[in-house]
Amino acid sequence: MERLENRMTAGKLLAERIADLHLQNPIVIALPRGGVPVGFVVASTLRCSLDVTMTKKVGAPDNPELAIGAVGEDGTTVLNQELVQYLKIEKALIKKLAANKTKEIAQQIKKFRTNKTRETLNGKDVIVVDDGLATGATMIAALQVLRKQNPRKVIVALPVAPADSIQPLKEVADEVVCLLAPKNFTAVGLWYEDFDQVSDEEVIRLLELSRHEQSFIQEREITIEDGPDSVTGDLTLLNNSKGLIIFAHGSGSSRKSPRNQYVATELNKIGFSTLLFDLLTDEEAANRANVFNIPLLARRLNLATDKMASLPETSSQPIGYFGASTGAGAAIMAAAQSSKKIFAVVSRGGRPDLAAEALRKVTSPCLLIVGGNDEPTLSLNREASLQIKSCELVVVPGATHLFEEEGTLAEVVEHASSWFLFQINGSPNPHPIESIVAELEKKAVPFRGDNSLDGLIEQIAKSRIVMLGEATHGTHEFYVLRRMISERLIRKHGFKFIAVEGDWPDFQRINQFIRNETKSSASEALQGFSRWPTWMWANEEIVSLVEFLKTEMVPMFGLDVYSLFESIEAVKEYAQAKDLNLLLAVEGAYACLNPFQKDEKEYARHLLQFPEGCRHEVVSILRKLLRLRINDLHQSKEQLFDVQQNARIVANAEEYYRRMLFGGPESWNVRDRHMIDTLDMLLKNWGPDSKCIIWAHNSHIGDYHATEMVHQGYVNLGGLARERFGMDAVALVGFGTYQGQVIASHAWEGQETVMNLPRAKDSSFEGFCHKTTQNLKTSGFSVIFDAETRASVLGKRTYGHRAVGVVYDPKHENKELNYVPTIPAQRYDAFVFVDETSAVHPIKTKTSALDFPETWPGGV
C-alpha cells in the first residue's frame, strides 16, 4: 500500500472523494493541529467554510491518564457510563473536571479563531477532518459533540485509519471517507512521506486564509447609465463585506488595469468588496482630453456610487474610493460632491491637484501614496496634502510613477489596506496613525525626572556638531531644555562653543561679557540686542545660559547674515585702529552704501534701478581682508577672524538683500549657506578636535532633504552640514509642542505678543506625539531615531510638522505656512516633545526693525 506524500496531497484526494457525495451547504470542521492543513485543502476545493473543533479527554480523578469521557468546546460532555459507575465517580466531581477542560479548550479555540465566532452547524452537512486516527476515541467524542448542534449530515473524512476503527465511526457518522485503511497500522505518521509537526501559527494562518478564500458571493458585470451613455464595471461582492471600494483608473487605462486589479484582489482578501469600472466610453477614451476632464470623471464616479447604493446587496455597505493618476483627482472631487458619505479615499501615484477647489471641500480622510522617485507627482501631492482637511502623504522609497519596481505595489497595498481598515473602524491591523504612536511609544523616553535626558545626551555627544532646534522662536521650554542639554555637553563632553541663529556683532558683545571684558551683567549685555525680533535672544532664559557660559569661559557666536551695516561699522573700527591705508580702502569701498542711511530697504530699491549695486566694492574689501595674516598688523587670531567674518557678512548680506527683491528660495539659501560657511570656519579656527552646539529653528536645522524644501529649491543648515561633515558627525535634534502659549507678532516688526498656541492638527506629527504623551502619562519625551526607527513609518511617511515663526496668526494654523510636510526620522536624529508649553520671558531692549521680512516660513 502506497504512502501519502503530505497532508495537502491527502486533502486533495479526500476532496475528490467527497465531491461525489453532492453535499448541501457543507462546512469543514478540522481537528487541530494536524487536521487543519488537510481540512484547508478540502474546504478550498469545495469552496466552503473551514473551522475547528476540539475535544479533551476527562481523566479519572485518581488516574488522569484513564479517560472516563470527553468534553467539547461548548461544554457538552460524553461519558463512558460503565466506567464512571465502576469507579463510583460523583456527578459533582465530573462536572468540575469537565469544566476545567472546557476552559482549556476555550483558550486554545480563541487563539485559533482569533476571536471570531463559528458559523452555526444547524441544517448543514458537516465534514469532520483529521490527518488520521489511531483508536478513534477523540474523533467519536468530537462527533457526539457536533451532533448536538443539529447538523443535517455528519461526514468523517480521514486520509488514513486502522481498518478496525472504521466501523465504530460509521455508527456515529452518516458517512466515512477514508483513503487508506491498513490492517497493520502502527502509527499515523508512518503513512506519510512528510509528516512534520503543525504549529499553532500555521493553524491560525490557514484558518485566516480560508476565510479570505471563501468570502466571495459573486462576481458580476454592472452597467452604469449616464444619460444616453453607459459604462461597464466588474463587481466582486463578498460575504460579510466590511465595505465597498470603488476604483477610479488613471489616464490611458481602464477597469482592466493590472495594477488596480492586483490592489482590488488584495483588498478582497481582507474583506472588502470592489468595483472596477470604466470611467469613459470607448468613444470618449479615444479623445485624450477626456482623461483630464475631472468633472466628467467625478460625475461617473458619483453615478457608480448611487448605483451601488441602490442595489439591495450593496446598499448598506460603506463606500470608499481608490484612485490612480487622474482618477485620484476625480475620486477626491467625487467624494467632495457625493450625497453619500465616502468613508475614505486612497490615491496611488495620483493627481489630487486636479481636484482644484474640491481639495479644500473634501471631508473624507485621504491617503496620498506617491513613489519616492516620482518627483513631479510627489511635489504636486505635497502641495495638495496641505489643502485637504484630513490627509496623510506616504512616500514609497524607490518607486516611480507606475510602481513597477519590485515590492513597491505590495507596499501600496499595505498602506491602502491599513487606511481603509482603520477608517471603517474595528480594524485588527494597525493603521498608520496607530503605527506611528506605537513606534513613538516603543522608542520614547518619558520625562520622569532629572535623568530623563541622559540617554539622548549620551547619544548626540558622539557627534562633533549638535544642532538643537525649536518649533517656535518664543517658547520658554525650548530655551530651558536646550540650555540643560548644552550645559551637559559642555561640562561632561567637552563642547567648545555655541553658535546660534543670530547676528555676529551682537554675540561678539556677549563674548566680551563672557571674557570679563565688561562690567555689565548678563541681562544688561543682552539689552544691547536691537534688531527685531529682540525677544529671540534678549530674554530671561538666555540670561541663565550666558551666565553659565561665563563660568565655563565658553563663547557664543552668531551665524546669521542680517547685520549689513553693523558689520560695516565693525570693519571700519578695526581698520581705524590698525592701519590708515586699510581704513581709506574700507571707507572708499563702503561709501557706496552711505547714501542709504543704514536702511536695507532703501538699498534694495536702489538695486531695482542699478542691479550691480555695491557688489564689486564689498567683495573687494572681503578679498583684501582675507589676504591679511596675523602678523601683518600685530593682531590676535581672534581679531583677524572677527574682522574677516564681518567682511563676509557685508558681502553676503548685500547678496541676501539683492536676492530677496526677486523672491524665491535664493535669499533663504544665501542665508543658510552663510551659516554653514561660518560654522565651518569656526570649527577650523578652533581646531580639528573641536565640538560645537548650534541653536536655530527646526526649519534651519532639520535636514531639508526630508521636507518639501528640497522640491522647492531650498537648502538649510542641517542638510548642508550632513553633506559637508557626514551623517555621523552631525546630530540634528528637533523640538516640538502640541499646545500652549508663545511669543510672536502679528506682523513684521510688530509688537511682541503672548499668543495662544492652539492644539496641533490631529493628523500632524505633533498630534501623534500628543497621543503618545497621553498613553505614556507624561508631559513630554525624547526619542532617538535609530536605524530601526528610520525603517519604520516614522522614516518612510510624510506628516505635517508644525513650524511657527516670529510672525504668526493662530487663526491660520491649518494653512500651509505652519505645517511643513516632513519625514520625521529622516529630518532629525532625535526629537524632543513637550505637550504643553509657555511663552518665553523677554527683557526690555531698544528695538531696531529689519525692514524686509524673512520669507520662509513666517520668519524663522
Residues 145 and 240 in one domain: no
Residues 204 and 230 in one domain: no
Q: Cell for 238? A: 463578498
Q: Residue 377 in contact with residue 363, Cβ under 8 Å?
A: no
CA end-to-end distance (rounded Å), the chain: 83
pLDDT category of residue 588 using cuts at 50, 70 and 90: confident
Q: Is residue 746 part of a domain?
A: yes
Span 828-843, average pLDDT: 96
CA distances from 566 to 177, 493, 504, 605 (A): 98, 35, 9, 20
Q: Is residue 617 part of a domain?
A: no
Q: Residue 671 in contact with residue 561, Cβ under 8 Å?
A: yes
Domain boundary among 177, 211, 245: 211
> DSSP states of 286-336 as a string?
TSGGGGG-HHHHHHHHHHHHHHHHHSTTTTTS-EEEEEETHHHHHHHHHHH
pLDDT category of residue 633 using cuts at 50, 70 and 90: low
pLDDT score of 610 more than 70: no
Q: Residue 350 in contact with residue 368, Cβ under 8 Å?
A: yes
Torsion of the alpha carbons at 430, 434, 436 and 439, rounded to the nearest 10:
-80
Span 503-527, average pLDDT: 90
Residues 6+ apart with CB under 8 A from 767: 738, 760, 761
Residues 485 and 368 in one domain: no
Q: Is residue 848 part of a domain?
A: no
Neighbour order of strands in the sheet with 125-129: 49-52, 26-30, 125-129, 153-160, 175-180
306: Cα within 13 Å, side-chain hemisphere = 13
Identify the pLDDT of residue 853: 47
Identify the pLDDT of residue 848: 43
Residues 200 and 238 in one domain: no
Residues 484 and 529 in one domain: yes
Q: Strands (DSSP E) along 421-493, which ranges?
A: 445-446, 465-468
Higher per-residue pLDDT: 321 or 636 = 321
Higher per-residue pLDDT: 658 or 851 = 658
Residues 488 and 420 in one domain: no
Question: CA 827 to CA 275: how far, in whole Å?
Answer: 39
Residues 318 and 361 in one domain: yes
Residue range of the domain that includes 521: 454-559+663-837
Question: CA 170 to CA 161: how far, in whole Å?
Answer: 13
Coil/strand/helix, residue 671:
helix
Question: CA 388 to CA 336: how far, in whole Å?
Answer: 11
Identify the pLDDT of residue 662: 62
Question: CA 799 to CA 396: how far, in whole Å?
Answer: 14
pLDDT score of 80 more than 80: no
Question: CA 216 to CA 236: how far, in whole Å?
Answer: 7
Q: Residue 324 in contact with residue 259, Cβ under 8 Å?
A: yes
Identify the pLDDT of residue 48: 82
Give how many domains the chain has, as a whole number: 3
Number of helices and strands (H, E) in the chain? 32, 27
Span 656-680, average pLDDT: 84
Share of the chain above pLDDT 90, in %: 43
Higher per-residue pLDDT: 48 or 703 = 703
> DSSP states of 796-846 as a string?
TEEEEEE---SB--GGGTTSGGGEEEE-HHHH-SEEEEEEEE-B--B----
CATH number at residue 389: 3.40.50.1820
Identify the pLDDT of residue 622: 66
Question: CA 45 to CA 762: how far, in whole Å?
Answer: 47
Per-residue pLDDT tens digits for 471-492: 999 999 999 999 999 999 999 9
Coil/strand/helix, residue 236:
strand
Q: Is residue 385 part of a domain?
A: yes
pLDDT score of 628 more than 70: no
Span 21-29, average pLDDT: 85
pLDDT category of residue 850 using cuts at 50, 70 and 90: very low
Per-residue pLDDT tens digits for 380-406: 998 898 899 888 888 888 889 889 888
CATH number at residue 692: 3.40.50.11550
Span 143-170, average pLDDT: 89
CA distances from 330 to 236, 287, 295, 602 (A): 22, 17, 7, 50
Q: Is residue 601 part of a domain?
A: no
Question: CA 735 to CA 482: how far, in whole Å?
Answer: 9
Give the DSSP H/E element, type plus range, for residue 566.
helix 564-578
Identify the pLDDT of residue 636: 73
Identify the pLDDT of residue 629: 57
- Find which of 101-115, 597-611, 714-728 is predicted with most confidence, using mean pLDDT: 714-728
Identify the pLDDT of residue 859: 58
351: Cα within 13 Å, side-chain hemisphere = 15
Residues 229 and 188 in one domain: no
Per-residue pLDDT tens digits for 421-433: 888 864 434 445 5
Identify the pLDDT of residue 215: 55
Higher per-residue pLDDT: 221 or 80 = 221
Identify the pLDDT of residue 117: 67
Residues 173 and 246 in one domain: no
The neighbouring-strand residues paired with 833 are 736, 781
pLDDT category of residue 720 using cuts at 50, 70 and 90: very high
Residues 726 and 749 in one domain: yes
Least trusted range by pLDDT, from 54-68, 321-335, 439-453, 528-542? 54-68
Question: CA 479 to CA 300: how far, in whole Å?
Answer: 55
Least trusted range by pLDDT, from 292-306, 502-516, 650-664, 838-852? 838-852
Largest Cα separation within the chain, whole Å, is: 124
pLDDT score of 621 more than 80: no
Residues 206 and 227 in one domain: no
Domain boundary among 176, 211, 246: 211
Per-residue pLDDT tens digits for 307-324: 998 887 888 889 999 999
Question: CA 354 to CA 326: how far, in whole Å?
Answer: 7
pLDDT score of 24 more than 90: no
Question: CA 694 to CA 557: how far, in whole Å?
Answer: 9
Higher per-residue pLDDT: 232 or 219 = 232
Pairing between β-strand 445-446 and β-strand 780-784 as defined by DSSP bridges = antiparallel
pLDDT score of 856 more than 50: no
Share of the chain above pLDDT 70, in %: 90
Span 288-317, average pLDDT: 90
Question: CA 471 to CA 465: how far, in whole Å?
Answer: 20
Q: Cell for 489? A: 555637553
Least trusted range by pLDDT, from 9-13, 378-382, 404-408? 404-408
Q: Is residue 816 part of a domain?
A: yes
CATH number at residue 28: 3.40.50.2020
pLDDT category of residue 852 using cuts at 50, 70 and 90: very low
Q: Residue 91 in contact with residue 99, Cβ under 8 Å?
A: no
Other residues' Cβ atoms within 10 Å of the Cβ of residue 523: 16
Q: Residue 702 in contact with residue 822, Cβ under 8 Å?
A: yes
The closest of 459, 543, 537, 539 to 733, measured between CA atoms, is 459
Residues 271 and 148 in one domain: no
Per-residue pLDDT tens digits for 454-473: 999 999 999 999 999 999 99
Q: Residue 677 in contact with residue 626, Cβ under 8 Å?
A: no
**Averaged pLDDT score across all residues of the chain:** 86
> DSSP states of 702-747 as a string?
S-GGGBTHHHHT---HHHHHHHHH-GGGEEEEEEEEEEEEEEEBSS
Residue 390 sits at φ, ψ, to 5 deg, of -125, 105
Q: Is residue 113 part of a domain?
A: yes
Question: CA 641 to CA 663: how far, in whole Å?
Answer: 32
Higher per-residue pLDDT: 550 or 436 = 550
Domain boundary among 211, 239, 273: 211
> DSSP states of 101-148 as a string?
HHHHHHHHHHHHHTTPPPPP-TTSEEEEE-S--SS-HHHHHHHHHHHT
Identify the pLDDT of residue 434: 63
Q: Is residue 597 part of a domain?
A: no
Per-residue pLDDT tens digits for 542-554: 999 999 999 999 9
The closest of 281, 280, 275 to 263, measured between CA atoms, is 275
pLDDT score of 857 more than 60: no
Identify the pLDDT of residue 634: 55
Higher per-residue pLDDT: 18 or 311 = 18
Q: Is the pTM higher than 0.75?
A: no
pLDDT score of 372 more than 90: no
Per-residue pLDDT tens digits for 795-823: 877 788 999 999 998 877 755 568 888 88
Residue reference for cell 465566532:
117
